[in-house]
Amino acid sequence: MARSFVEIIEVSARDGIQNESVILPTEEKLELVGRALDAGLRRMEVTSFVNPKRVPQMADAAEVAAGLPRDRGARFIGLTLNRKGFDRAAEAGLDEANFVVVASDTFNQRNQGVPTADSIAAFAAIRADAPPGIAVGLTIGAAFGCPFEGEVPVARLMQVVEACMEHDPFELALADTIGVATPRDVTERVGAVRAAFPEARLRLHLHNTRNTGIANAWAGIEAGVRSLDASLGGVGGCPFAPRATGNIATEDLVYMLDRSGVDTGVDLDKAIAAAEWLEARLGKTVPGMVMKAGGFPAPRAA
Ligand code: ZN
Protein backbone atom coordinates (compact mmCIF):
# COMPACT_ATOMS: atom_id res chain seq x y z
CA MET A 1 0.00 0.00 0.00
CA ALA A 2 1.28 3.51 -0.83
CA ARG A 3 2.32 5.53 2.15
CA SER A 4 0.09 8.47 2.99
CA PHE A 5 1.01 11.73 4.69
CA VAL A 6 -0.38 13.29 7.85
CA GLU A 7 0.63 16.78 8.91
CA ILE A 8 1.48 17.33 12.57
CA ILE A 9 0.95 20.84 13.92
CA GLU A 10 3.30 21.34 16.85
CA VAL A 11 1.53 23.24 19.64
CA SER A 12 3.96 22.90 22.55
CA ALA A 13 5.04 26.55 22.42
CA ARG A 14 1.40 27.63 22.87
CA ASP A 15 -0.91 25.01 24.41
CA GLY A 16 2.04 23.11 25.85
CA ILE A 17 3.42 25.75 28.14
CA GLN A 18 0.45 28.03 28.76
CA ASN A 19 -0.62 26.05 31.80
CA GLU A 20 2.81 25.58 33.40
CA SER A 21 3.93 27.26 36.60
CA VAL A 22 7.39 27.66 35.06
CA ILE A 23 7.25 30.55 32.61
CA LEU A 24 9.76 29.92 29.85
CA PRO A 25 11.67 33.03 28.81
CA THR A 26 11.19 34.16 25.21
CA GLU A 27 14.58 32.85 24.08
CA GLU A 28 13.75 29.37 25.39
CA LYS A 29 10.41 29.40 23.57
CA LEU A 30 12.31 30.27 20.40
CA GLU A 31 14.77 27.49 21.11
CA LEU A 32 11.82 25.11 21.44
CA VAL A 33 10.57 26.26 18.04
CA GLY A 34 14.07 25.75 16.60
CA ARG A 35 14.29 22.22 18.00
CA ALA A 36 10.86 21.39 16.60
CA LEU A 37 12.01 22.69 13.20
CA ASP A 38 15.15 20.54 13.46
CA ALA A 39 12.91 17.52 14.05
CA GLY A 40 11.07 18.27 10.79
CA LEU A 41 7.92 19.97 12.09
CA ARG A 42 6.86 22.64 9.59
CA ARG A 43 3.65 24.06 11.02
CA MET A 44 3.45 25.31 14.57
CA GLU A 45 1.17 27.16 16.90
CA VAL A 46 3.75 29.34 18.61
CA THR A 47 1.84 31.67 20.92
CA SER A 48 -1.53 33.14 21.76
CA PHE A 49 -2.53 36.79 21.62
CA VAL A 50 -4.60 36.86 24.78
CA ASN A 51 -4.83 39.03 27.86
CA PRO A 52 -1.43 38.76 29.63
CA LYS A 53 -3.14 39.27 32.97
CA ARG A 54 -5.15 36.10 32.36
CA VAL A 55 -2.41 34.05 30.68
CA PRO A 56 0.94 35.46 31.81
CA GLN A 57 2.80 32.60 30.08
CA MET A 58 1.86 34.20 26.74
CA ALA A 59 2.64 37.84 27.60
CA ASP A 60 5.62 37.84 25.19
CA ALA A 61 3.56 36.89 22.11
CA ALA A 62 4.86 39.78 20.00
CA GLU A 63 8.47 39.12 21.01
CA VAL A 64 8.13 35.42 20.18
CA ALA A 65 6.64 36.31 16.78
CA ALA A 66 9.46 38.78 16.09
CA GLY A 67 12.10 36.15 16.86
CA LEU A 68 10.74 33.34 14.67
CA PRO A 69 13.05 31.97 11.98
CA ARG A 70 11.36 32.94 8.72
CA ASP A 71 13.81 31.20 6.41
CA ARG A 72 13.05 27.55 7.15
CA GLY A 73 9.87 26.98 5.18
CA ALA A 74 7.63 26.79 8.22
CA ARG A 75 4.22 28.31 8.84
CA PHE A 76 3.58 29.89 12.23
CA ILE A 77 0.19 30.22 13.87
CA GLY A 78 -1.04 32.51 16.65
CA LEU A 79 -4.11 31.64 18.71
CA THR A 80 -6.67 34.41 19.08
CA LEU A 81 -9.92 34.67 21.01
CA ASN A 82 -11.22 38.05 19.85
CA ARG A 83 -10.70 40.97 17.48
CA LYS A 84 -7.98 42.56 19.55
CA GLY A 85 -5.99 39.35 19.63
CA PHE A 86 -6.44 38.86 15.91
CA ASP A 87 -5.20 42.36 15.14
CA ARG A 88 -2.11 41.74 17.28
CA ALA A 89 -1.45 38.44 15.47
CA ALA A 90 -1.76 40.14 12.08
CA GLU A 91 0.49 42.99 13.15
CA ALA A 92 3.07 40.49 14.42
CA GLY A 93 3.30 39.04 10.92
CA LEU A 94 2.16 35.51 11.68
CA ASP A 95 1.20 33.29 8.75
CA GLU A 96 -2.05 32.15 10.32
CA ALA A 97 -4.45 33.11 13.04
CA ASN A 98 -6.35 30.31 14.76
CA PHE A 99 -9.57 31.82 16.07
CA VAL A 100 -11.37 29.91 18.83
CA VAL A 101 -15.10 29.51 19.26
CA VAL A 102 -16.22 27.19 22.06
CA ALA A 103 -19.16 24.87 21.42
CA SER A 104 -20.72 25.51 24.83
CA ASP A 105 -21.79 28.94 26.05
CA THR A 106 -20.51 28.50 29.60
CA PHE A 107 -17.00 27.58 28.52
CA ASN A 108 -16.96 30.26 25.82
CA GLN A 109 -17.87 32.78 28.52
CA ARG A 110 -15.11 31.52 30.86
CA ASN A 111 -12.51 31.27 28.10
CA GLN A 112 -13.18 34.50 26.26
CA GLY A 113 -15.72 36.48 28.26
CA VAL A 114 -18.69 36.34 25.86
CA PRO A 115 -21.28 33.75 24.77
CA THR A 116 -20.60 31.52 21.75
CA ALA A 117 -22.73 33.61 19.37
CA ASP A 118 -20.67 36.73 20.12
CA SER A 119 -17.45 34.90 19.31
CA ILE A 120 -18.92 33.69 16.02
CA ALA A 121 -19.91 37.30 15.24
CA ALA A 122 -16.35 38.44 16.02
CA PHE A 123 -15.02 35.74 13.72
CA ALA A 124 -17.39 36.86 10.95
CA ALA A 125 -16.18 40.45 11.29
CA ILE A 126 -12.54 39.33 11.07
CA ARG A 127 -13.21 37.22 7.99
CA ALA A 128 -14.95 40.19 6.39
CA ASP A 129 -11.87 42.43 6.50
CA ALA A 130 -8.79 40.39 7.44
CA PRO A 131 -5.62 41.59 5.72
CA PRO A 132 -4.60 39.27 2.86
CA GLY A 133 -1.28 38.23 4.42
CA ILE A 134 -2.76 36.12 7.20
CA ALA A 135 -4.81 32.94 6.80
CA VAL A 136 -7.70 32.68 9.24
CA GLY A 137 -8.58 29.26 10.56
CA LEU A 138 -11.03 28.29 13.25
CA THR A 139 -10.98 25.88 16.17
CA ILE A 140 -14.15 24.77 17.88
CA GLY A 141 -13.27 24.22 21.53
CA ALA A 142 -15.01 21.66 23.72
CA ALA A 143 -16.29 19.97 20.56
CA PHE A 144 -16.58 16.64 22.39
CA GLY A 145 -17.63 17.76 25.86
CA CYS A 146 -17.60 20.74 28.21
CA PRO A 147 -16.09 20.96 31.70
CA PHE A 148 -19.05 23.03 32.89
CA GLU A 149 -22.08 21.87 30.87
CA GLY A 150 -21.09 18.23 30.40
CA GLU A 151 -22.21 16.58 27.17
CA VAL A 152 -22.11 18.68 24.03
CA PRO A 153 -24.68 17.02 21.75
CA VAL A 154 -23.70 16.42 18.12
CA ALA A 155 -26.64 18.63 17.13
CA ARG A 156 -25.23 21.53 19.17
CA LEU A 157 -21.76 21.02 17.72
CA MET A 158 -23.18 21.00 14.20
CA GLN A 159 -25.13 24.22 14.85
CA VAL A 160 -21.90 25.91 15.84
CA VAL A 161 -19.98 24.35 12.94
CA GLU A 162 -22.62 25.52 10.45
CA ALA A 163 -22.68 29.04 11.87
CA CYS A 164 -18.88 29.22 11.66
CA MET A 165 -18.57 27.68 8.19
CA GLU A 166 -20.77 30.46 6.80
CA HIS A 167 -17.74 32.66 7.29
CA ASP A 168 -15.38 30.36 5.43
CA PRO A 169 -12.41 29.57 7.68
CA PHE A 170 -9.58 28.11 5.57
CA GLU A 171 -9.41 25.22 8.02
CA LEU A 172 -11.73 23.90 10.71
CA ALA A 173 -10.37 22.20 13.82
CA LEU A 174 -12.38 20.21 16.32
CA ALA A 175 -10.80 20.39 19.76
CA ASP A 176 -11.23 17.88 22.56
CA THR A 177 -10.14 20.53 25.02
CA ILE A 178 -10.71 18.44 28.13
CA GLY A 179 -9.83 15.02 26.73
CA VAL A 180 -13.17 13.25 27.02
CA ALA A 181 -13.56 11.93 23.46
CA THR A 182 -13.39 8.27 22.50
CA PRO A 183 -12.71 6.89 19.01
CA ARG A 184 -16.42 6.38 18.43
CA ASP A 185 -17.06 10.09 19.16
CA VAL A 186 -14.30 11.10 16.75
CA THR A 187 -15.69 8.87 14.00
CA GLU A 188 -19.18 10.24 14.57
CA ARG A 189 -18.31 13.94 14.81
CA VAL A 190 -15.71 14.07 12.07
CA GLY A 191 -18.12 12.07 9.92
CA ALA A 192 -20.93 14.54 10.59
CA VAL A 193 -18.74 17.53 9.70
CA ARG A 194 -17.41 15.84 6.56
CA ALA A 195 -20.92 14.91 5.47
CA ALA A 196 -22.08 18.51 5.87
CA PHE A 197 -18.89 20.11 4.47
CA PRO A 198 -17.11 17.61 2.21
CA GLU A 199 -14.63 20.24 0.99
CA ALA A 200 -13.62 21.52 4.41
CA ARG A 201 -10.01 21.13 5.44
CA LEU A 202 -10.22 19.44 8.86
CA ARG A 203 -7.83 19.35 11.78
CA LEU A 204 -8.07 17.65 15.17
CA HIS A 205 -6.77 18.97 18.50
CA LEU A 206 -6.71 16.17 21.05
CA HIS A 207 -5.85 16.09 24.72
CA ASN A 208 -4.85 12.84 26.34
CA THR A 209 -6.53 13.47 29.68
CA ARG A 210 -8.21 10.06 29.82
CA ASN A 211 -5.62 8.16 27.77
CA THR A 212 -7.79 8.02 24.65
CA GLY A 213 -5.82 10.64 22.72
CA ILE A 214 -3.71 8.44 20.49
CA ALA A 215 -6.64 6.11 19.72
CA ASN A 216 -8.67 9.20 18.86
CA ALA A 217 -5.92 10.39 16.53
CA TRP A 218 -6.07 7.11 14.65
CA ALA A 219 -9.86 7.27 14.48
CA GLY A 220 -9.55 10.79 13.07
CA ILE A 221 -7.15 9.65 10.35
CA GLU A 222 -9.46 6.78 9.44
CA ALA A 223 -12.30 9.30 9.25
CA GLY A 224 -10.30 11.38 6.76
CA VAL A 225 -8.48 13.98 8.88
CA ARG A 226 -4.97 14.78 7.60
CA SER A 227 -3.88 17.45 10.12
CA LEU A 228 -3.38 16.71 13.80
CA ASP A 229 -2.16 18.90 16.64
CA ALA A 230 0.34 17.45 19.08
CA SER A 231 2.88 18.72 21.58
CA LEU A 232 6.40 17.53 22.30
CA GLY A 233 6.44 15.47 25.49
CA GLY A 234 2.64 15.61 25.65
CA VAL A 235 2.73 18.87 27.61
CA GLY A 236 -0.25 21.17 27.69
CA GLY A 237 -3.54 22.20 29.20
CA CYS A 238 -6.09 24.96 29.32
CA PRO A 239 -5.94 27.48 32.19
CA PHE A 240 -9.73 27.90 32.05
CA ALA A 241 -10.70 24.22 32.14
CA PRO A 242 -10.44 22.49 35.52
CA ARG A 243 -8.04 19.50 35.59
CA ALA A 244 -7.07 19.91 31.94
CA THR A 245 -3.96 17.98 30.93
CA GLY A 246 -1.65 17.70 27.98
CA ASN A 247 -2.03 17.20 24.25
CA ILE A 248 -1.17 13.94 22.56
CA ALA A 249 2.62 13.72 22.46
CA THR A 250 4.19 14.58 19.11
CA GLU A 251 6.77 11.82 19.32
CA ASP A 252 4.18 9.21 20.35
CA LEU A 253 2.09 10.19 17.32
CA VAL A 254 5.14 10.09 15.04
CA TYR A 255 6.01 6.62 16.32
CA MET A 256 2.50 5.28 15.72
CA LEU A 257 2.28 6.80 12.25
CA ASP A 258 5.81 5.79 11.16
CA ARG A 259 5.18 2.20 12.14
CA SER A 260 1.79 2.27 10.41
CA GLY A 261 3.14 3.40 7.06
CA VAL A 262 2.05 7.03 7.39
CA ASP A 263 4.65 9.73 6.71
CA THR A 264 4.84 12.88 8.83
CA GLY A 265 8.19 14.37 7.78
CA VAL A 266 9.22 14.28 11.44
CA ASP A 267 12.35 12.49 12.68
CA LEU A 268 11.40 10.42 15.73
CA ASP A 269 14.76 10.55 17.46
CA LYS A 270 15.05 14.30 17.02
CA ALA A 271 11.49 14.75 18.30
CA ILE A 272 12.37 12.66 21.36
CA ALA A 273 15.47 14.77 21.92
CA ALA A 274 13.38 17.94 21.70
CA ALA A 275 10.84 16.52 24.17
CA GLU A 276 13.68 15.65 26.57
CA TRP A 277 15.02 19.17 26.28
CA LEU A 278 11.56 20.61 27.05
CA GLU A 279 11.15 18.27 30.00
CA ALA A 280 14.44 19.54 31.43
CA ARG A 281 13.36 23.16 30.91
CA LEU A 282 10.07 22.56 32.71
CA GLY A 283 11.82 20.72 35.53
CA LYS A 284 9.27 17.92 35.83
CA THR A 285 8.39 14.62 34.24
CA VAL A 286 6.21 15.11 31.16
CA PRO A 287 3.57 12.62 29.97
CA GLY A 288 5.09 11.40 26.66
CA MET A 289 5.69 7.65 26.61
CA VAL A 290 7.86 6.93 23.57
CA MET A 291 10.47 9.35 24.95
CA LYS A 292 10.79 7.05 27.96
CA ALA A 293 10.83 3.76 26.04
CA GLY A 294 12.60 4.90 22.85
CA GLY A 295 11.63 3.99 19.31
CA PHE A 296 11.68 0.49 17.86
CA PRO A 297 13.85 -1.00 16.58
CA ALA A 298 16.39 0.92 18.66
CA PRO A 299 18.71 3.09 16.57
CA ARG A 300 21.99 1.25 15.99
CA ALA A 301 24.97 2.63 17.86
CA ALA A 302 27.26 4.58 15.56
ZN1 ZN B 1 -5.63 22.43 23.86
Q: Tell me: the pLDDT tens digits for 50-92?
A: 999 999 999 999 999 999 999 999 999 999 999 999 999 999 9
Q: 100 with 14: CB under 8 angstroms?
A: no
Measured CA to CA, the distance from residue 121 to residue 292 in angstroms comes to 45
Distance 203 CA to ligand 1 centre (A): 13
Distance 294 CA to ligand 1 centre (A): 25
Distance 235 CA to ligand 1 centre (A): 10
Q: Quick check: is 146 catalytic?
A: no
Distance 14 CA to ligand 1 centre (A): 9
Residue-level length of the chain: 302
**In the prediction, which pLDDT does 301 show?**
63
Q: What are the mean pLDDT values of the chain's consecutive 10-residue runs (302 residues total)?
A: 88 91 94 98 97 93 97 97 97 98 97 96 96 96 97 98 98 97 98 98 97 98 98 90 89 98 98 98 95 89 60
**Measured CA angle at 61 (ends 60, 67), to 5 deg:** 90
| Domains of the chain, earliest start first | 4-293 (3.20.20.70)
Contacts of 29 by beta carbon, 8 Å cutoff, 6+ apart? 13, 17, 46, 47, 60, 64
Of these residues, 238, 241, 244, 254, which one is catalytic?
238
